[in-house]
């Protein structure tokens, strides 16, 4: 599995009345791969749902803000990134404590 970075002017929005504040982090692409899909899912769910990128791709060397407003009152999320070449990266993080996430080669 190759690690890659994400970056670009991207904003992903879902919907979240359950949390007092939306979760937000900066996604940074410091890899040599364009990211074409991004999925977020609370760790207790078995499915990824839809691609949340609001842009066609997140090119290397760019960054953007991700808002998680999905109505879940949780902090632990699985993340899945897919490159233009089809490579994937999966990670699990406490999004309540995450200020930024950088993907690298």
What pLDDT, on a 0 to 100 scale, did the predictor assign at position 69?
85
DSSP string, 38-92: EEEEETT-S---S---SSS-B-TTEEEEEEE-SS----EEEEEEEETTS-EEEEE
Give the predicted TM-score (pTM) of the model: 0.76
Overall fold of domain 23-103? Immunoglobulin-like (2.60.40)
Q: pLDDT tens, 17-38?
A: 343 468 889 999 999 999 999 9
Using CA atoms of 22, 74, 97, 95 in order, give the dihedral in degrees to the nearest 10: -70
Of residues 32, 31, 45, the one with CA closest to residue 79:
45
Length of the chain: 105
d(CA 66, CA 100): 9
Which stretches of the chain score pLDDT less than 70?
1-21
What pLDDT, on a 0 to 100 scale, did the predictor assign at position 84?
97
């Amino acid at each position: 599995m190759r690690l890659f970075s994400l970056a670009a002017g991207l904003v992903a929005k879902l919907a979240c009345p359950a949390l007092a504040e939306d979760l937000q982090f900066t996604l940074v692409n410091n890899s040599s791969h364009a990211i074409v899909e991004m999925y977020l899912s609370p760790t207790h769910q078995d499915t990824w749902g839809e691609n949340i990128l609001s842009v066609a791709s997140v090119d290397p060397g760019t960054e953007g803000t991700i808002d998680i407003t999905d109505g879940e009152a949780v902090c632990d999320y699985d993340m899945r990134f897919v490159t233009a070449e089809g490579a994937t990266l999966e990670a699990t993080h406490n999004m309540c404590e995450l200020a930024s996430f950088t993907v690298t080669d």
